[in-house]
Structure 1
Amino acid sequence: MTIVAIESLDNEGRGIAHVEGKVIFIEGALPGERVEFSSYRRKPSYEQATVTKVIRASSQRVTPACPHFGVCGGCALQHLNIAAQTAAKQRVLEDAFWHIARLKPEQIYPPVAGGAWGYRHRARFSARWVSKKGGALVGFREKHSSHVVVMDSCAVLPPAVSALIPELKRLMAEMSAPEHLPQIEVAIGDVQTALLLRHLSPLSAADEDQLRCFADAQGVVWYLQSKGPETVRLFYPEHTPLLTYALPDYSLEFRFWPTEFTQVNDGVNRMLVRRAMALLAPQKGERIVDLFCGLGNFTLPIARLGATALGIEGSSALVQRAEENAALNGLSAQCTFAVANLFEATEAGFTALGRVDKLLIDPPREGAFALVNALPAGDRPRRIVYVSCSPATLARDAAVLVHEKGYALRGAGIASMFPHTSHVESIAVFER
């Protein structure tokens, strides 16, 4: 068995080693360790592997809190202490800036971080009927597999939701066609927990009664989905109001449908909005545009702080929800919304927006390459706050902003939105 020294972590939280010129990516290995490994995928220039034995452990290694770690595909870094996870993600961000864009931020911001456990306010459970494993399974998928983990709890879910897993397994076992119930989504608001059941065949009257009894006993709200997203509907209790979350710093409440995008980590989202507003510094008399605005998570705080805000989003449903949230919070006069495909942004389209003093960009993983290239050569926003969920696309877009559009990278830092995973959320500030 080959023993290797682990040099660093890659962007997916795997240890990196080299053997005879070949890169080995080893799940479960940490920098500074010496480990034995077993490869499960071999290519000419690299291998993917898992640790079989730790010969010399890192001082940062800890015992995973979850008994399913290593089998479940949900977490990748529970064996690394939380402070070291944060530091590793900061290095991923800085490395991306340097290797992709040849940039170094003038300032590294302190990490935005919250609790390490019970943080996940959204989840998508797979459901399977597997007689060999005791019947109904409800949980996350195994690593490198479509199989569902045999689990009764999850440490990154709020305890009350984690406790629903065995109850959901019992419920699935009592349904008339559990093999036709492939998925249950969880969306948690400040007041309610919603469960969205995907069903591939019609539910019987007895099935519906089971769902009603479960909702009454567990204090949850059921939504059903029979086909595509357009078929999602509230089932029980009838006339239940929409889910909500609050941003208390700005006296804001947001309503949302269970399938609409909201941040997974509610506590870190509040801190991230606070950080973004401090860096953007909205002022009365300014006109600020929020691109990829969603349901108004950043747009409404901008308006609440006195600036005039325009939110632009590709989804007409989310724009409608953002408008409703603006009205709910008495901000319809200070902020407006529009639908546009920002992945096809042009200079003419950006110029048509009129005066833009500052810009907030919060794109999906694909980044905002077309958008930053569309910034006009003349009068551009003097400050851009860029919230990113991919260091690679952030660095790619930063290269355009700095090397082609005349901005300086004033600062950047991470937000620990997903502890124990390799996912890196970050925020950066550019000034003209």
Structure 2
Amino acid sequence: MAQWQEITGGVTAPKGYQAAGIKAGLKPSGLPDLALIISDVEAIAAGVFTTSQVRAACVDYCRQNLQAKHGARAILCNAGQANAATGEQGVLDAVESAQLLAGELNISPKSILLASTGVIGQRIKMTAMARGIPQLVAELSPSASDAAAQAIVTTDLVTKSIALETTIGDRPVRIGGIAKGSGMIHPNMATMLAFVTTDAAISPHLWQEMLSRAADRSFNAITVDGDTSTNDCLIALANGQSRTHAITEKGQDADKLEAMLTAVCQHLAKAIARDGEGATCLIEVQVTGAQDEKSARQVAKTIVGSSLVKSAIFGRDPNWGRIAAAAGRAGVQFEQENLRIQLGDFLLMENGQPLQFDRPAASMYLKQASEGAYLKEDTVLILVNIGNGHGSGIAWGCDLSYDYVKINAEYTT
């Protein structure tokens, strides 16, 4: 029996959360561009952020608040302007955004976390922000997760949302999440933007540890184009409104909650990879036989991030040599005579030696995956074994199409 079940509601599925998403006039397109997630009570907050040395003002703002161990009540996200590389004025704009929302909600600015997405080098349109915040607060609803998910996207073709439910101490516990991301995806922490909520009661240090591990096994295991964003952030709130006992140490309940958190993050991460700009299919690389999980993930992510592998899959070319070459340059030690590569049901290489296989049928497998875009059967599965170790890992990505170049060549024009 499954440990949890999927439910509706996204970030407002857990008890004690509301959300909103509106058109504030931040995007030139006039589409929804301002989102808010709020907990009815102060929540434990955890976060993982970009490792880029060029960071948006919201990233440093959130880091400072989390390091100060403030509880959190709200997450405010604007789309349209990244507010990255905008100097001191960008920092002041971020602070003012928090102050404006704090005044409207009658809470402390220190209990507000911020996120931004859009064009690097552009400041937030503060006139539109100031005008939009009262409307945003007025639109808060326990059923508005979808509106918030829509308001955080940029080049995404679809919104990303999930909610799961399990039981702890015979009471229901829920985790919900929304995310955005399509291009500039090669996280060294999380992804473009992801927000997770739970009504579980948990200690701050355990929640942060769980989130960091979940990020490594999800958002840190995807790549679209090899570019890490200036604005990457994964923020998770836990408000305790399930009324279950507090999880303060490792054990069965902690393991169950972390497993569900990881499942939520993996669902959102795969949705981002599947929605890669111009992508026609999701690629999943499973690596086994490594010394440890980290090494296996490193090989998997190198393969799925290879422009040559991605291009071959888009061209429906079962070119196993590109997979072997990517595995070999991943920086993980293994003996090439142990290398085994399989594409779907097609075994291409074993014991470091090429095998005869039905090339037209393998090419058709890739073609069928591209025709199943946004369905479960759109996944191209690559299985790689590099030895006899116990380490295994998975990474996700997408193919590289002509449209990716077109979308990004015209991004600011």
TM-score range, shorter chain: under 0.3
Q: TM-score, normalised by structure 2?
A: 0.25
Q: Which has the larger radius of gyration?
A: 1
Q: TM-score, normalised by structure 1?
A: 0.25
Greater helix percent: which structure? 2
